[in-house]
Amino acid sequence: MTTDVSRRAALCAALSATSSWSWAAAAGAVSPTWPTQPLKIMVGFPGGSSPDLVARALAEPLSRALGQPVVIDNRAGAAGNIAAQAVAQATDQHTIGLMINGNLTIAKLLNPKTGYNPVTDLKPISLIATAPLVLAAPISQKGTPQEVLQAARLAGNRWNYGSPGMGTVSHIGMELLKARARIDPVHIPYPGNPQVITAMLSGDLQLALLPPGLAAAQIRAGKLRAIGITSAGRSTLVPDVPSLAEIGVPNFELEIWDAVAAPASMPQPIAARLSMLIGEIVRTPDMRAKLFQQGWQVVGSTAEGLALRMKNDTATLGGVITARGIKVE
Residue 9: is its pLDDT beyond 90?
no
Confidence of residue 327 (pLDDT cuts 50, 70, 90): confident
Task: Tell me how crowded residue 226 is: count the other CB atoms within 10 A of its CB.
Answer: 20
The string of pLDDT tens digits covering residues 219-278 is 999 999 999 999 989 999 999 999 999 999 998 999 999 999 999 999 999 999 999 999
Q: Is 103 left (phi over 0), alpha (psi -120 to 50) or beta?
A: alpha
pLDDT average, residue stretch 205-213: 95
276 torsion bin: left (phi>0), alpha (psi -120 to 50), beta (else): alpha
Predicted local distance difference test score (pLDDT) of residue 326: 86
SS3 string of 117-172?
CHHHHEEEEEEEEEEECEEEEECCCCCCHHHHHHHHHHHHHHCEEEECCCCCHHHH
Positions of CATH 3.40.190.10 in the chain? 134-253
User: In this model, does residue 27 exceed pLDDT 80?
Assistant: no
Query: What are the DSSP calls for 227-282, one per residue?
Result: EEESSSS--TTSTTSPBGGGGT-TT---EEEEEEEEETTS-HHHHHHHHHHHHHHH
> What was the pLDDT predicted at 26?
37
What pLDDT sits at residue 8? 44
Q: Give the full edge-to-edge strand order of the sheet including 207-210.
A: 186-189, 160-163, 207-210, 134-138, 224-229
Residue type, 100: I
Domain 134-253 has CATH 1.10.486.10: no
Mean pLDDT across the stretch 190-199?
A: 94
* Rounded average pLDDT over 103-131: 95
Mean of pLDDT values over 200-229: 95
pLDDT on residue 30? 54
pLDDT of amino acid 31: 62
Q: Where in the sequence of the chain do the CATH 3.40.190.150 domains occur?
A: 39-130+257-324
Contact in structure between 163 and 136 (CB atoms under 8 Å): no
User: What is the pLDDT, as a whole number, of residue 166?
Assistant: 87
DSSP string, 199-211: HHHTTS-SEEEE-
Mean pLDDT across the chain, nearest whole number? 90
How many other CB atoms sit within 10 Å of the CB of residue 284? Answer: 13
Q: Which amino acid is at 275?
A: S
Task: State the number of CA atoms in the 13 A half-sphere of 124 facing the CB.
Answer: 21
- Measured CA to CA, the distance from residue 259 to residue 42 in angstroms comes to 12
Q: What pLDDT, on a 0 to 100 scale, did the predictor assign at position 14?
A: 40
% pLDDT > 90, the chain: 78
99, containing H or E segment: strand 95-100
> What element of type H or E holds 226?
strand 224-229
What is the average pLDDT across 203-224?
94
pLDDT score, position 325 = 86
| Comparison of pLDDT for 267 and 2, the residue scoring more | 267
Mean pLDDT of 277-305: 96
The radius of gyration of the chain's CA atoms, rounded to the nearest angstrom, is: 23
pLDDT at residue 28 greater than cutoff 90:
no
Which comes out higher in pLDDT, residue 1 or 171? 171
Note the maximum CA span of the chain. Answer: 92
**What confidence score (pLDDT) does residue 32 get?**
75
Looking at residue 329, its pLDDT comes to: 66
On whether the pTM is more than 0.85, the answer is no
Report, as an integer, the average pLDDT of 301-313: 96
So what's the pLDDT on residue 33? Answer: 86
pLDDT of residue 277: 97
Query: Is pLDDT of 15 > 50?
Result: no
Q: What is the mean pLDDT of residues 298-318?
A: 95
pLDDT over 50 (residue 178): yes
What's the CATH number for 39-130+257-324? 3.40.190.150
At residue 289, the pLDDT reads 96
